[in-house]
């Protein structure tokens, strides 16, 4: 496994993962998917990591898609395995239990948009382009794009992006609910850093409970989802962080959460 394909830094509870193939616009081949999966597994296991920021090297692309030169050679069975490998990574990100912010600094196309959609928050530069162009290659989204896009943007937008294959602007993606915020390209780093710093000081167990309520509860019928939320609500009463947070509020001071 070539871990140089993904660089990792950890500072003040913020783990920054950077897909490091700028000469290929950070395209996702099998080795890069495996390296990302390993990097996210490490971030998940590291108690010092409170939040993860995911981005791509260079100014042109977050991730421009899956590596077409590799896909061109795959058999049907290998194609399915490649899809499953990508979906395994996306599920790991989605279920990490820690907030993941996609810093979309350029092209997020195909597998790149699928990667961004697996993250919990997406902040895009105003110069970014997003889309699912697989139809232009005689392909379909394979890393969960048809399903996550459907859940984020609805059926009409999903069919438009997947059937036509044309990229859209960051502003259009914001209007469709695909990204959370659009900022000027030269302000992207500072904005994402500020959000990551805010999340890094929040109560980790409460963050995880919120993620579980939205991601797990969102797949349930409403009565079961509400029951799940009540259970998670009760569980956080067992945490030291809940006592610290409520005490700090009453004492008019800033809380210090420790993840217990």
Query: What is the spatial distance between Cα 91 and Cα 14, in angstroms, rounded to a whole number?
Result: 21
Q: Is 229 a catalytic residue?
A: no
Pairing of strands 51-56, 14-19: parallel
Q: Which of 226, 128, 212, 213 is nearest to 178 (CA)?
A: 128
Query: What is the spatial distance between Cα 56 and Cα 112, in angstroms, rounded to a whole number?
Result: 10
Alpha helices, H only, 14-153? 30-45, 68-71, 76-94, 111-118, 145-153
Q: Which residues neighbour 212 within 8 Å (Cβ) at sequence distance 6 or greater?
A: 97, 228, 232
Query: What is the spatial distance between Cα 20 and Cα 5, in angstroms, rounded to a whole number?
Result: 5
Catalytic pick among 134, 229, 251, 256: 134
Catalytic pick among 94, 114, 181, 244: 114
Q: Is 219 a catalytic residue?
A: no
Which two structure tokens, joined as six digits, stand for 11?
């500072």
Q: Catalytic residue positions?
A: 114, 134
């Amino acid at each position: 496994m070539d871990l140089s394909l993904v660089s990792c830094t950890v500072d003040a509870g913020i783990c920054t993962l950077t897909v490091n193939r700028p000469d290929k616009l950070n395209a996702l081949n099998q080795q890069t998917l495996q390296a990302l999966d390993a990097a996210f597994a490490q971030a998940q296991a590291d108690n010092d990591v409170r939040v993860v920021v995911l981005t791509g090297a260079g100014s042109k692309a977050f991730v421009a898609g899956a590596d077409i030169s590799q896909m061109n050679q795959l058999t049907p069975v290998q194609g399915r395995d490649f899809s499953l490998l990508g979906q395994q990574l996306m599920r790991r990100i989605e279920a990490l239990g820690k907030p993941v912010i996609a810093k979309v600094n350029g092209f997020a196309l195909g597998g790149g948009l699928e990667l961004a959609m697996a993250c919990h928050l997406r902040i895009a530069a105003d110069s970014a382009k997003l889309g699912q162009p697989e139809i232009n290659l005689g392909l379909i989204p394979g890393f969960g794009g048809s399903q996550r896009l459907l859940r984020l943007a609805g059926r009409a937008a999903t069919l438009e992006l997947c059937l036509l294959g044309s990229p859209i602007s960051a502003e259009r993606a914001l209007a469709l609910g695909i990204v959370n915020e659009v900022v000027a390209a030269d302000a992207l780093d500072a904005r994402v850093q500020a959000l990551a710093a805010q999340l890094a000081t929040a109560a980790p167990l409460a963050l995880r409970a919120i993620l579980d309520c939205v991601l797990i509860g969102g797949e349930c019928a409403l009565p079961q989802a509400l029951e799940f939320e009540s259970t998670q609500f009760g569980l956080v009463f067992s945490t030291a962080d809940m006592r610290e947070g409520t005490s700090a509020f009453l004492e008019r001071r800033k809380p210090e959460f420790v993840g217990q």
